[in-house]
Amino acid sequence: MSQMGKKAIRVGPAGWSYKDWEGIVYPSRKPRGFDPLQFLAHYFDTIEVDSTFYRPMPKKTAESWLERIRDNRNFRFTTKLWQRFTHERDENWSTEEVEQAREAPAALQEAGRLGAVLVQFPWSFRNNEKNQEWLGDVLGTFREFPLVVEVRHSSWNVPEFFDGLAERGVGFVNIDQPQFHDSIRPSARATAQVGYIRVHGRNYKDWFRENAGVEARYNFLYSAQELKPWAERTEEVGRNPLVKEVYAITNNHYLGQAPANALMLRSMLEGVRVPCPPPLFKKYEKVLKDFAEPKALEGGAGSASKNEGSPRQGSLPLGKR
C-alpha cells in the first residue's frame, strides 16, 4: 500500500479465479490447502471482485473472502455491482434483486473491508434523459455503499455529470481503454472521497470485435512507458483534497498480465522493487525486472512482505511525492 500523507493508495488486479493464471501467477505445484485469494493478499492490498458482476453473491461467500485475507490488515475489497443494474435495463429491477445484490458488499462493509462498489456501464450507455434517470435510480438504491461509476462513452464528459456525482458523494472511475471515436478519454478526476483508476488494456483489434471473448479483449500487457502516465494520474487523484483513499485496478487479466502490471504500478508509486510471485516474474521478466523481484511465500503460505523492497535501478521518475 502506498501512502500520500495519511491517504492510502491501493493497487491490485481485477479478479483472482482464472484458469489461465495457473502456472503463471500461481505455482504449478500447489501446496495442500492452497487458496488463490489468500495467496494474492500477500502481494496486494486490494482486489476488485468481478464475480459479483455476473451474479449476486450471498453473505456466506463474502464471509469466506474475509477469512482468507484476514492476515493482511491493510486489505480492502472493491466489488462490481451485479450487471442486472447496469447492463440489463429493459425491465425495472425487483426488491428481491436489490437485496441479493446488497448481501456481499454489506458483509464486507460491516467488517470494515469494503473500499468501493463499482457501478460499471458499457460503452453503449449514452448520456440521455432515459439513462440519466436509470443511473440516478441505481445510485439512490445503493447509496449506503461507497459507490464509484464507470462510463465509457464520451457523451458523459460534461460538467453536469461530474457535478451530479459530487453532489451524491459518488466517485468517478478514470479509465484506460482502446480509444475510438466517442470513447471517454484518460483522466485524473475525483468527485468523492474514494478515487478510482481502472486500466483495461489497449487491444484495439478485439475491443469491439463481434464474438471476441473476454480473453481476447483483455489480452494486453502495458509497457513501463505506457503505464507511467497512469502512475502519475493515480498520484494526481490522491493529491485532490476531496480524496481520502485511492484504488488503482488492472483489468487486463488474460495470462496474468493484470497482476504483472499492478506490481509495476505499485513499484512506480512506492519507489522500490516489490515482491512478485516467482512464476509471474519468470513469465514477464522483460517488463518486471526494473520493478519487482521474485519472492515466494515462506512454506507456501507465509507473507511476501509487501512493505519490503529494494531500490529500483533505471526507474521511471514520477516527480515529487
Of 218 and 299, more confident: 218
CA distances to 153, 160, 174 from 132, in Å: 13, 11, 19
Phi-psi region for residue 258, left (φ > 0), alpha (ψ -120 to 50) or beta?
alpha
What are the φ/ψ torsions at residue 300 (nearest 5 degrees)? 80, -5
Positive or negative, the CA dihedral 124, 81, 50, 296 is positive
What are 302-317's pLDDT values in tens digits? 345 444 555 554 334 3
309 in Cβ contact with 270 (< 8 Å): yes
Q: Domain 2-300 belongs to what architecture?
A: Alpha-Beta Barrel (3.20)
Nearest to 13 by CA among 286, 312, 280: 280
Question: Cα 44 to chain center, whole Å?
Answer: 11
Gap between the Cα atoms of 113 and 109, Å rounded = 6
What are 101-146's pLDDT values in tens digits? 999 999 999 999 999 999 999 999 999 999 999 999 999 999 999 9
Q: What amino acid occupies position 300?
A: G
What are 217-253's pLDDT values in tens digits? 678 999 999 999 999 999 999 999 999 999 999 999 9
Q: What amino acid occupies position 275?
A: P
What are the φ/ψ torsions at residue 228 (nearest 5 degrees)? -55, -45
Q: Give the DSSP letter of residue 55.
A: S
Mean pLDDT, residues 148-175: 98
Q: Would you state the pLDDT for residue 313? A: 42
Binning pLDDT at 50, 70 and 90, where does residue 89 land?
Answer: very high
Spell out where the chain has E strands: 2-4, 7-13, 46-49, 76-80, 114-120, 147-150, 171-176, 194-199, 245-250, 274-276, 292-294
Global pTM value: 0.91
Mean pLDDT, residues 3-19: 89
Gap between the Cα atoms of 205 and 46, Å rounded = 30
103 in Cβ contact with 57 (< 8 Å): yes
Q: What amino acid occupies position 87?
A: H
Gap between the Cα atoms of 147 and 149, Å rounded = 7
Q: What amino acid occupies position 293?
A: E
pLDDT at 78 over 70: yes
85 in Cβ contact with 165 (< 8 Å): no
Computed over every residue of the chain, the mean pLDDT equals: 90
Gap between the Cα atoms of 215 and 200, Å rounded = 12
Gap between the Cα atoms of 222 and 234, Å rounded = 16
**What residue segments make up the domains of the chain, in order of their start?**
2-300
Q: Would you state the pLDDT for residue 2? A: 73
Binning pLDDT at 50, 70 and 90, where does residue 216 land?
Answer: low
Q: What amino acid occupies position 71?
A: D
Where do we find the cell 462490481? 80
Distance spanning both ends of the chain, measured CA to CA:
14
What are the φ/ψ torsions at residue 148 (nearest 5 degrees)? -135, 140
What are the φ/ψ torsions at residue 7 (nearest 5 degrees)? -90, 140
CA distances to 73, 259, 267, 297 from 263, in Å: 19, 6, 6, 16
pLDDT at 25 over 60: yes
Q: Give the DSSP letter of residue 22.
A: B
**Sheet of 7-13, strands arranged across:** 2-4, 7-13, 245-250, 194-199, 171-176, 147-150, 114-120, 76-80, 46-49
